[in-house]
Amino acid sequence: MCPCYEELLYDVPGSGGILGSPLILIQVTRLRCGGFIFALRLNHTMSDGPGLVQFLNAISEMGQGLSVPSLLPIWQRELLNARNPPRITRIHHEYEEVTNTKGTLMAMDENNLVHRSFFFGLKEIRALRNRLPASLGACSTFEVLIAYVWRCRTIAFAVDPDEVVRISCLINMRGKRGFDLPPGYYGNAFVYPASITKAGMLCKNPLEYAIRLLKKAKAEMSQEYIKSVADLMVIKGRPSFTQPGNYLISDLTHAGFGEVDFGWGKPVYGGVARALSNISFCMRFRNSKGEEGNVIPICLPPPVMERFEQELKRMTKEAEPVRLIKSML
């Protein structure tokens, strides 16, 4: 988590809503060392991560002399409209209505959360991969890390073994067959299918179990699934994603935040400033030792955070324990 967050991006009164609020807030803070912090808050109805990076690159190019950006913005939201008539043809666990029947589904008080960021370098990732059988096949670093974090997080919450838990991973629709989103399209173009299982199965099985669930959800992603999501939005009136027992995580390692150059070179860090109660992000990061890796910010209730850290260390005991980053600056 970034220190002094509130000082780096002033929360303008009345700006936190969706309607009648600024689309973007920007604050630039100069540092005594000669550097600066460019902080931004986006109204997410306008754009997703890749769209925001496109906007930042446009600012960079025009600030350095171009009269128009090299990649022109394209609206064309009708490309992702629902069908007529709309019809839900797939199961969408990410939008199911869930009752917290046993009272253990990770309820959190927003005013009593600990924010911490965890660094996963080559040693930690190697230790996790050593736990996986060859029969599992190829796994991305993101799949390994989020399966690991999801499992540790569920154990830390001490969820009832019979409760159903889920994880939703954001999947970018750009480049997907059947949609042909043009270069320059900056609107929200993602879905977040959920992998589900009983908490007891997730916690007692080895890491490969969680990875197989993630791979299964990803394999089911198709043109029809995405169209079914758009239709669901119309039929059910834009429902929120499932809250109880759900953990959302977005892979921003390839979004391009770390490549934005306003004329002073690439940033020391480019990415999200902090996590939300049940939403995390995976981002590229170079630690104070110069090691390249991934950082995942997480916020949890204090006792849960303590158990979470213990479980992280237990699973990577073959290598140097996962390192806590006190500050991203």
d(CA 248, CA 106): 13
Q: Which of 93, 115, 160, 261 is catalytic?
A: 261
What distance, in Å, lies between the first and last C-alpha atoms of the chain?
A: 9
Rg value, the chain, Cα = 20
Element (H, E) at 172: strand 171-172
Active site residue 261: yes
Q: Count CB atoms within 10 A of the CB of residue 113.
A: 17
DSSP string over 2-43: -TTHHHHS---TT-SSSTTS-SEEEEEEE-TTS-EEEEEEE-
Q: Which of 11, 44, 162, 254 is catalytic?
A: 44
d(CA 207, CA 134): 13
The single-letter DSSP state of residue 176 is -
Classify burial at 175, counting beta carbons within 10 Å of its beta carbon; exposed 0-12, middle 13-18, buried 19 or more.
Answer: exposed
Let me know: does 304 contact 112? Beta carbons within 8 Å.
no
Active site residue 44: yes
Q: What are phi and psi of 175, to 5 degrees?
A: 85, -5
d(CA 28, CA 145): 33
Q: Give the residue numbers marked as catalytic.
A: 44, 261
